[in-house]
Structure 1
Amino acid sequence: MKSSFGSSRSPKTIALVGKYHSLEIAESLRGLAEYLHERGVSVFIERETAEHVGRQVDLARWVTCGFNDIGAHADLAIVIGGDGTMLNAARRLSRYRVPLVGVNQGRLGFMTDIARCDMLTCMDDLLDGRFTAENRMLLDAEVVRDGREIAANQALNDVVVDKGAIGRMIEFELFIDGEFIYNLRSDGLIVSTPTGSTAYSLSSGGPILHPTLTGIALVPLCPHALTNRPIIVNDRADIELRVTHAEDPRVHFDGQVTLDLNPGDSVRLRRSEYTICFLHPPGYSYFAMLRQKLRWSEGPKGV
């Protein structure tokens, strides 16, 4: 779902979140903070970002705070880094409904729209309310052992159950809305949102889902039976993976948080009640982004 951010909602307080351990991030973050201050915006810098980046540039003049305070007080957050930095910020801020803007200083940057060289130019459009809002769904996940929940988390990209460090396949049962679907022997299963369909899911043969869709993709990893193909289910589906046999099973949330599993554990997934709002600059096109990032329409390169 897209809508105009609107000039009536021009942000007064903006939080900056950056990738750690990068001099380029430090310089960009300081320059952005100074620019926003000159435009009359109150600037917060996320605490861990400040602790790491502040070793390289002086950030003493800016207010530093944690994600809880950002959620309570910021009108939006600008994420400077790559998709990994954006994923972390999205999970931490989704319940506060803080919109996110991405400045790409990573590699592909499917979720970070603004190039570093265009950063300050785009800020004029942002502060004047000319960005477009787009909501993305998230997944809620819980891990159940012996009938009780032992862990819970969210994912913007995907939840992956896999075989861990052992070379043998994992075996599990898949249920959708309580209905048994199949037994799967494989390296694992990716449960992906539309946002995550261009990540691990894509490299594993899954479909690309436009981010305005609300389906959930189930993509087997190297299935033993070649007839186990990716499927897409309704976003209202309750999904359950029951581990039946594995040596070292694990579950991963957005590839950033990992939990060890035991045989008999269940991973239960459903659409989250929260969404994350991305703000896109004028002229943003999802398909143009795919053409650029995935190099569609390029001819063969000379040898």
Structure 2
Amino acid sequence: MNLFIFAELDLQQQNYLEHLLPTNITPFFYNGYSSPEGEKAFRSADLLFGNPPSSWLAQVPPGLQFWQLESAGFDQYKQVQTNAVVCNMGDFFAEACAETMVAGILSFYRGIIDLVQLQEEQNWQGKKMRLKLDLLGQKTAIVLGAGTIGQAVKRILEGFGTKVKMTARQNPVAQIHSLEELFQHLPHTDIIINTLPGNLDKYVSKEFIQSMKIGSLYANVGRGNTTDEQALIEALESEHLAGAVLDVTEEEPLPQDSPLWQMENVLLTQHTGGGQVREVEGKIDRFISNLHLFLAGDKVLNQVNLTQGY
């Protein structure tokens, strides 16, 4: 069987993957350059690991049987038609993303952002700062989305004593199941954490943001397009919102002329939310595990439907 690998792997990581492969599988590591050899390898792939450009999938390799994405999201592939078994990374990034969001939120309430600035200035203002600090355990939060990241966020926040609700249309673990119900809660909620997929474009609309509690925080580790970014900027500039923790933005990398770079009440984590030590090796391990399940005819983990978006 032929395996096409579209992932940024150094030589050591390539060797690691190759060592774990069954002997009857022939890998081809795409080097980032278009070539007749690479095109031929892609067209003859039975197995695929990674996230190739969506334009490549206008014509899916005819023999493709199994495709392991190296991401949790896959909005760019919603038009792809394939009979292959497709899997995403599932909960692989959940804990890391949740910790990033909670760390960012804590940095606002405990004054970490201001304290770092004061340290750079060698300016001792501890007594003054004490009076500005707040407690996460005394806050209320709503997590948009009840998937693995959303549930991880909820669990960590509840460890601090935060009262948390989640939203989802049908997932029974959520407490809020409609936009109308959500809008009733927004004016009374201290923190909104967005974990939504990209198929919900501008879900956090101007109306949504204007309905949020004055002085509340907004955090986004879902997809950048799910937020009306201009409306968010306006709410932050007017101090309707106290701050924002943004792991994702509408355009990435964030344009140099974006006001978000200069805003003191914005923490940009630059799509590092899912990052972790040995991240690449962990994704390889997840792929190899799923590959063995597929080859054995067993149920794979984290199978997704590209057109449905989940």
* Same fold (TM > 0.5): no
**Coarse TM-score class (shorter-chain normalised):** 0.3 to 0.5
Larger strand percent: 1
Larger CA Rg, structure 1 vs 2 = 2
TM-score by length of 2: 0.32
Give the TM-score normalised by structure 1: 0.33
